Chains A and B, each alone.
Chain A
Amino acid sequence: MTTVTLHNLRKEFDDVVAVNGIDLEIIDGEFLVIVGPSGCGKSTTLRLLAGLEDATDGEIVMDGRDVTAVEPKDRNVAMVFQNYALYPHMTGRRNITFGMKSSGDFTDEEIDRRVEEAAETLDIADLLDRKPQAMSGGERQRVALGRAIVRDPDAFLMDEPLSNLDAKLRIQMRAELAQLHTSLGTTTVYVTHDQTEAMTLGERVVVMNDGRIMQVDEPQTLYDFPANRFVAEFIGDPAMNMIPVDIENGTAVHDAFTIQLPNADGGVRNGVKEGGDASIRDGQRAVLGVRPEDLYMATDRPDTGDETLNATVNVTEPLGDSLLLHCSIGETPCKIQAKARSEIRPDDTVSIAYDPARLHLFDPESGDALYHSESYASSESAAAAADHG
């Protein structure tokens, strides 16, 4: 059981800054997911935690012990890699036991007992005598997990462990990983570029970009209250629409429409959890964020009010469970998730309603969130849960 704290952690490779001074506290026993685009520093952060990279600056503290300069083997962490990193010439059993036998910290009986336990937990008993060559991708990853759990480490570090698996298997392994974490309760740091994986697995999710942490929150909070434009666009698929507007008297004004902003009386900031400077003023330029699923055909939702906007449909993409429309509102491109089987064709002009509780405003320069139309304070319990880190 381990709490890990990062203080101003920084890693440079020559003149490239991979991790740019991050602070983070990983709570004992939690499943923390670090997500971000390629090159955002998420894997480097994990490797710093493992000790496979030396920090340029800052410190890593595990349970009160500064481990910044400690050798990987003395940190008692286990890592699971994207390419499984199984020794190709060893059987499943030897792959699992090799590290323990080499370190000499365990008796043979202890090793055998732990292998049996791990094999049972992961259902890999029949893989123990096979070499990786004779295993499928999912089986290899199970054995790699087995190797990680037999050592009973203080923390699991997982570097995109499911990325090499096919889509179906990935979803299955995702559920198994979540289950495994529930049964073991070991602190887990999981790195992925897949926001769906991050949302489904993480008890808390760290969104990173350009070596910095953009936001740390529970998945639903990230989705509902993105702290900045990057998080808003990165989390959610299809991505949030971003529409440039002017703020006038608590309304968002665009060439093609005007939207009343709820709870936006006279520049009182709303829904933004952090950042004291964030506020909206009259005459200010801003970016209105609204998710494709929060826009509807006005005809489907007659009770959402009178305020509608007109959009021209450019392309339709049937997704099966919904129909994704690529539209233009004035000159601004915009995506709308309409009901499946809607009779909409390209070049149609459609009347769109929106969910007034799900509007966001971002600063056009800094990208910081200025306003969320749903009050964050109303979900006090969510705030408390998210803040305890």
Chain B
Amino acid sequence: MSTREIFDSRIESGLLLLPTLLVTVVFLYYPTALAFRTSFFDSSFGRAEVFVGLENYVELLTSSGYHQSIIISVVFAAVVVGGVVVVSLYLTFLIHEVDTGQGLYLISVIWPYALPPAVGALVFLFITHPTLGVLTGPIESLGVEVDWFNNGSQAFVVVALAAIWKQIGYNVIFMIAAMNNVPDTLTETAELDGVGGLRRLVSVYIPIMTPTIFFLVIINTIYAFFGTFAFVDLLTSGGPSNATNILIFNLYQEGFSFFNFGIASAKSVVLFVIVGVLMFVQFQITDKYSYYGG
């Protein structure tokens, strides 16, 4: 390999790799291994760890509250991933179709992505707050009583909307690049044939964009399971009545509110396995249905 010749010796290349290796080992692999180990212990502050074998896992398997959290997480992920992809595709298409001011539309769609999640959550709180929210009045004038501090379904919808709104920017960046890569002549052929706009999006653009879309589905899935913590924490704290208590928030509470490190570790291992299996399934589907150029 010619790239090896850049460095004089293995020691030099090793030294240059060291910072990256150190960071990943110290902050990723070591904690992962530790969490896996802790999941077999009864562990908390101020007392010695006791090995309990699979007891933590047995407790999770038999806890109806945890089962509910899994179901909520999966439904939440499905809604968020589906919502993000559909809305982003449509917005991308609209931006793709405008001739002037494309940059302006793009910025207005992307900016929520540039916010830190906590700030995004607070912004959304002020948009939809049951008494103070700027959108609350208009929505209530449609005959819907906004009461998501007490209404579980409404809370779920609000958190999901916030999560979707935050992630659209990221998706649009990739989608607009992919859509702009579709040769103009295909668009022009469709125009000459009288193929309508939405039909063109669904039958021409989306199939050609599948590699990008599948990549985004995977990223969005990870986001829905892990990256939406701030919204749950700041908007609902998992409530009301655990209606928005998704796995990532559930395990945070277990570990850092109740200080049951053993159970929390077991929960993070379960979450890891669930997301891992989903990734595997998605990759299988990706390879089967993606169109990769040619």
Contact = CB atoms under 8 A, between A and B. Distances in A.
A52 B193 contact: no
Interface string B158-193: 000000000000000000000000010110111111
Interface string B114-143: 000000000000000000000000000000
Contact of B185 (A72, A81, A100, A102): A81
Given A85-B183, A85-B186, A87-B186, A79 B203 contact: no
B208 A88 contact: yes
B207 A89 contact: yes
A82 to B, nearest CB: 8
Given A83-B183, A85-B183, A88-B208, A102 B196 contact: yes
B191 A83 contact: no
A381 interface: no
Contacts of A147: 189
A98 B294 CA distance: 20
B201 interface: no
A361 to B, nearest CB: 44
Contacts of B186: 85, 87
A50 B191 CA distance: 10
Given A89-B291, A133-B294, A83 B193 contact: no
Nearest to A100: B193
Contacts, number: 65
Nearest to B207: A89
A368 to B, nearest CB: 38
Given A73-B194, A83-B183, A88-B291, A102 B199 contact: yes
A78 B192 contact: yes
Contacts of B191: 52, 71-73
Given A88-B291, A88-B294, A103 B188 contact: no
Nearest to B200: A102
Nearest to A134: B294
A74 B191 CA distance: 10
Contact of B195 (A74, A88, A102, A151): A102
Nearest to A84: B185
Contacts of A81: 185, 188-189
Contacts of A74: 194
Contacts of A102: 190, 193-196, 199, 203
A99 interface: yes
A105 B188 CA distance: 19
B19 interface: no
A148 B219 CA distance: 41
Interface string A96-108: 0011101101000
Q: How big is chain B's contact interface, by range?
A: 20 to 34
Interface string A55-78: 000000000000000011110011
Interface string B82-121: 0000000000000000000000000000000000000000
Contacts of A151: 193
Contacts of B195: 98-99, 102-103
A214 B194 CA distance: 35
Contacts of A88: 208, 291, 293-294
Interface string B255-294: 0000000000000000000000000000000000001011
- Of A71, A89, A100, A147, which is in contact with the most chain B CB atoms at under 10 Å from its CB? A89
A100 B189 CA distance: 12
A87 B192 contact: no
Contact of B208 (A77, A85, A89, A103): A89
A263 B207 CA distance: 68
A50 B189 contact: no
Contacts of B185: 81, 83, 85
Leading 10 A-B pairs by shortest Cβ distance: A99-B193, A73-B194, A85-B185, A133-B294, A103-B194, A102-B195, A89-B207, A81-B185, A89-B291, A85-B189
Interface of B: 183, 185-186, 188-196, 199, 203-204, 207-208, 291, 293-294
21 contacts: A50-B192, A51-B192, A52-B191, A72-B192, A73-B192, A79-B188, A79-B189, A83-B183, A85-B185, A85-B189, A87-B208, A88-B291, A89-B291, A98-B203, A99-B193, A99-B194, A100-B193, A102-B194, A102-B203, A103-B195, A133-B294
Interface of A: 50-52, 71-74, 77-79, 81, 83, 85, 87-89, 98-100, 102-103, 105, 133, 147, 151
Given A71-B191, A73-B191, 10 more contacts: A72-B191, A73-B194, A79-B192, A83-B183, A85-B185, A85-B186, A85-B188, A85-B189, A89-B207, A147-B189
